[in-house]
Amino acid sequence: MPGRRKRGAGQKQGSDKGVYELLSRYLTIILASLGNLWIFYFIFAPLTFYPLAFLLGFFYDLSTAGYYITIKGVMFDIARACVAGSAYYLLFMLNLMTRDIRIKKRIIMFLFSSLLFLLLNIARVIILVFVRVNNLWFFEQLHMFFWYFVSTAYVFAVWIIMIKIFRIEAIPFYSDLVYLKELGKIKWGFKKKRT
């Protein structure tokens, strides 16, 4: 009988740890969204702006002020829409909504996925700058296409790459729901008996 009690206590400890880990992940997601995603813009605005200005400098004479780049009298604001902070937040959410990943692995995954998105985003802005500076008629259409379709599709493509590279088996959010459902069955004694 003492052995049975120990096993029950260990099971409770394990389930408590799992619940705390789950709650801390979702609390982190909520906290990261505060202030209109300012943390993502604070980090990724300079990481987008400076490489972008450097690369565009090979093709155009440009001037910079703050997060603005001016080329041939056309001014580009790189601080908000061009940074696409919401896309990094979506990658962050997918990362934290996926269970059974160690913290070190989570950090590496987020850094790697962010780098992939950053490279695509810089390429996207360079294309848009080229189209706008050359007064090509389809700038607005291309901008909307990139914004609504390519960016979102790329976020999910990057996540699929993460799943393959890091061999992730859990499904974001759904695996947490399954875990809570199973935990509820054990806690309230609804676990099915083997026949």
* Residue pLDDT, tens place only, 146-195: 877 888 888 989 999 999 999 999 999 999 898 888 887 765 554 454 54
Q: What is the mean pLDDT of residues 4-13?
A: 50
Whether residue 12 has pLDDT greater than 60: no
**Helices and strands in the chain: count of H runs, count of E runs:** 6, 3
Rg from Cα positions in the chain: 23
Q: Identify the residue with better confidence: 14 or 61.
A: 61
Q: Identify whether the C-beta of residue 83 lies closer than 8 Å to the C-beta of residue 48.
A: yes
- Domain assignment present for residue 52? The answer is no
| pLDDT, tens digit (0-9, with 9 covering 90-100), for 108-148 | 999 999 999 999 999 999 999 999 898 888 888 888 888 77
CB–CB of 124/150 below 8 Å? yes
6 pLDDT more than 60: no
- Band of pLDDT at residue 5, cut at 50, 70 and 90: very low
Question: Does residue 3 surpass a pLDDT of 60?
Answer: no
Q: Is residue 91 part of a domain?
A: yes
Q: Does the residue 54 lie in any domain?
A: no
User: In the predicted model, is pLDDT for residue 66 greater than 80?
Assistant: yes
pLDDT band at 7; cut points 50, 70, 90: very low
Q: Is the pLDDT of residue 36 over 70?
A: yes
- In this model, does residue 45 exceed pLDDT 90? yes
pLDDT at 59 over 70: yes
80 pLDDT higher than 60: yes
Residue 48 CA, chain-centre distance (Å), reads 16
Instruction: Determine, yes or no, domain membership for 17.
Output: yes
pLDDT at 184: 76
Distances (CA, A) of 92 to 28, 89, 113, 155, 160: 10, 5, 9, 11, 14
179 Cα distance to chain centroid: 23
Q: What residue numbers bound the domain in which 114 lies?
A: 2-34+83-187
* pTM metric for this prediction: 0.82
Closest C-alpha to 19, from 189, 186, 192: 186
- The candidate with the shortest Cα–Cα distance to 101, out of 30, 159, 155, 33, is 159
Number of domains observed in the structure of the chain: 1
- 40 belongs to a structural domain: no
Give the pLDDT confidence score for residue 188 in this predicted structure.
Answer: 52
- Mean pLDDT over each residue of the chain, to the nearest integer: 85
| 8-state DSSP, 147 | I
- Model confidence band, residue 64 (pLDDT cutoffs 50, 70, 90): very high
Closest CA to 99 of 160, 177, 27: 177
Does 19 fall in a domain?
yes
Q: Residue 152 domain-assigned?
A: yes
Place of tokens 């990481």: 47
Classify residue 63: in a domain, yes or no.
no
